[in-house]
Amino acid sequence: MAITGGQAIICALEAEGVELVFGYPGGAILPVFDSLRESSKIHYVLVRQEQAAAHAASGYARATGRVGVCMATSGPGATNLITGIATAYMDSIPLVAITGQVAVDLIGRDAFQEVDITGATEPFSKHNYLVKNVNDIPRVIKEAFHIASTGRPGPVLIDIPKDVALSSINFKYPDTVDLKGYKPNYEGHPLQIKKVVKAIKESKKPLICVGGGAILSDAAQEILELAEKVNVPVAMTLMGIGGFPGSHPLNLGLLGIYGTQAANTAVNEADLLLLLGARMGDRATGNLDKFAKKAIIAHIDIDPAEIGKNVEVDIPIVGDLKGIVKEINKLNADKKESNWAEELMAKDRLPAQYVEGKGLDPKEIIQELSKMSNNDMIVATDVGQHQMWTSQYYKVEKPGTFITSGGLGTMGYGLPAAIGAKMSDTEREVLLITGDGSFQMNLTELATAAQENLKMKIILFNNSSLGMVRELQQQSFESRYFSVHMTGNPDFSKIAEAYGLKSIRVTDKKDIKNALKEILESKDGILGEFFINLDVNVVPYREGI
């Protein structure tokens, strides 16, 4: 039986097991939305701006390990998705974004709400399609989900002209894909694996650096086994948080310009550095001229393009991290009896220093929160100082329970990502930690949470400032502060009330514990606003780490 292209898209999404779609409608995508309305298998979530649809799909993908799906119309709807697509691309998050497009015969003629979205997203999507023939829809969607979720995950965009979505098709969904030239390599080379084991045996000061690939490949248990078996300390990138238990004695904490003294000292002194699923961006390495100069570097990653891109590598291995570390564990590297790990444990793992002044100490709040939270709760953050304080002081014990924008550093990511994570399992505790700058970027998504009856828990650090930018101006521009003071901030308690959330305001140190307890135990949506000291920085300035 013939169906429309729009119906074919929904049938294909259902065949892929999609249960949630985040989106915002518009003229060119209406044939698809008209079919989505009839689906009994897909729950559709109307967000308040298209960027939030991509972030929510990203949060859902991170919480579940499944492909997140978002949808928007042509023109501004599509371009509003771009930040979310780029955010997912930088953090290797599996996403399928479906956009409407003007009719095929209008493409290239500056029609109303026309934009070349496939061209615009080409640099930061894993792949994209402009579908001009309705009969290609089943194959394209099958391929899109395969590409998004295999190898190094990433976003795939499908652009559907309106007339294609209205055309007829005899729908049959393919069982397999046949993509010539796209065959991710999962098996690590046996000789290279033996070289890594030999290097571990010969090293006296080995160090593991865990990246986001550890979580994406579900390799946390294998890495834990390796670290404990050989007695190797572990540092991590921002995206690697959760890939190794936060309270484990071998965990040195965050590496890089906002990292701990223990982790950065370990990199400088190590004679062997095992990079596990870490792309080693500039925030993790700091000054490359000084990075790990005494170490043999082995880099394991599913994406060959990442190996050697930022850091020179002695032993490259391309493949799935979980399987490769499992093979390394089988080859029985000896346990290190040196004091290397113990010496590092004694170093400071908490770089920030509290400055006396007006307002609360954010690190004290995060530390108390970490003590009081359960290990299954998902913590999402926005981007800014609060993100770094959380990465430094909150002990993340399990993979997939820390959601943040790492590579792109997207302010406004936190709330919609938390909504996406909460939508994946409404019974699960999800806590957003945000700042007054980031929170206002997608504040309207509180309406999405209210619409879906989500009991969101939010901790808002309010210093009436773009704190991280202010800190950079302090460190690099002789405290010539400009455009960082958020005068005109709203009364966030009234904002919370307007969207049906309880709210509490904390200005006194003695109230911190009780406020956190109330937030964590609340059965309703709640916003806790903590007024923090403006002069507290993430880290004292250290040139050329």
d(CA 273, CA 210): 11
Three-state secondary structure string covering 60-78: HHHHHCCCEEEEECCCHHH
Contact at 8 Å (CB) between 420 and 60?
A: yes
Tell me the β-bridge partners of 46. Answer: 23
**Cβ-based neighbour number of residue 414 at 10 Å:** 32
Q: Could you tell me the two tokens for 308?
A: 């050697």
**Catalytic residue (choose from 468, 471, 530, 531):** 468
d(CA 74, CA 83): 15
| 142 catalytic per annotation | no
**Catalytic residue (choose from 50, 327, 471, 529):** 50
d(CA 397, CA 375): 6
d(CA 403, CA 238): 10
| 71 catalytic per annotation | no
Tell me if residue 425 falls in helix, strand or coil: coil
Tell me if residue 312 falls in helix, strand or coil: coil
Tokens 């007006």 sit at which residue? Answer: 358
Q: Could you give the dihedral angle defined by the CA atoms of residues 72, 73, 79 and 82, in that order, rounded to the nearest 10 degrees? A: 20
| 345 catalytic per annotation | no
| 113 catalytic per annotation | yes
Give first-to-last CA distance, the chain, whole Å: 65
d(CA 449, CA 97): 21
Angle, alpha carbons 242-279-67 (nearest 5°): 60
Contact at 8 Å (CB) between 102 and 27?
A: no
Beta strands (DSSP E) in 228-271 are: 234-236, 251-254
Contact at 8 Å (CB) between 428 and 458?
A: no
Torsion 63-64-67-71 (CA) sign: negative
Angle, alpha carbons 182-65-134 (nearest 5°): 50
| 451 catalytic per annotation | no
Torsion 308-313-318-322 (CA) sign: negative
The dihedral region occupied by 488, where left means phi > 0, alpha psi between -120 and 50, and beta the remainder, is left
**Catalytic residue (choose from 16, 71, 90, 162):** 162
Angle, alpha carbons 267-268-273 (nearest 5°): 40
Closest CA to 66 of 15, 20, 99: 20
Contact at 8 Å (CB) between 141 and 32?
A: no
d(CA 287, CA 285): 6
Residues that are catalytic: 50, 112-113, 162, 468
